[in-house]
Structure 1
Amino acid sequence: MTGFAMAQGDSAAAPTGQAATGMGLSRAEVLADLENWHRAGLSFWPASSSEIDREYVGDYRAALARYEQLRAGQTRRESVVQYQNMPRQ
């Protein structure tokens, strides 16, 4: 999971602190968010032509609620620290 995300950013010298895009997210925060997205099961939903269709699916809503819990909880903070301490290759 993280190998793909890391492979995408390794070719350029990205800042380790705040993102250069002005969005205010560090690389570690983005990777932690992606990890929580996967952990909640949201990466397994097929692409839909209509976002509204997904909104009414019970399983999707449950996965989204789980993602929001992970994002707001201690798990996210621990993941951010883990990614901050990870050596860049």
Structure 2
Amino acid sequence: MTHGPGRVEVVEGSWGSDVIVIEFPDRERVRVWYDSPAYREILPLRTRRMVADAIFAGGCPRVTGARTRWRTERRRGARG
């Protein structure tokens, strides 16, 4: 779960306020959590006190080694 008061720079469109991101391993598990009796019990605590949108968004596939390759290529470029 990610949430923070970090500065947001709007470069296109408009921005309302905060973003909260909760990561799940897959769509099935997020649906199980969202439909669970435990979450349904506390859901009114959020919905009665704030106006918000909730979405399920697909993530990006993990790319192993991409950061390492980028650093290596950057170092090679810096040498000449």
TM bucket (normalised to shorter chain) is 0.3 to 0.5
Normalising by structure 1, what TM-score? 0.33
Is the radius of gyration larger for structure 1 or structure 2?
Answer: 2
Task: From the two aligned structures, give the one with the greater helix fraction.
Answer: 1
TM-score calculated relative to the size of structure 2: 0.35
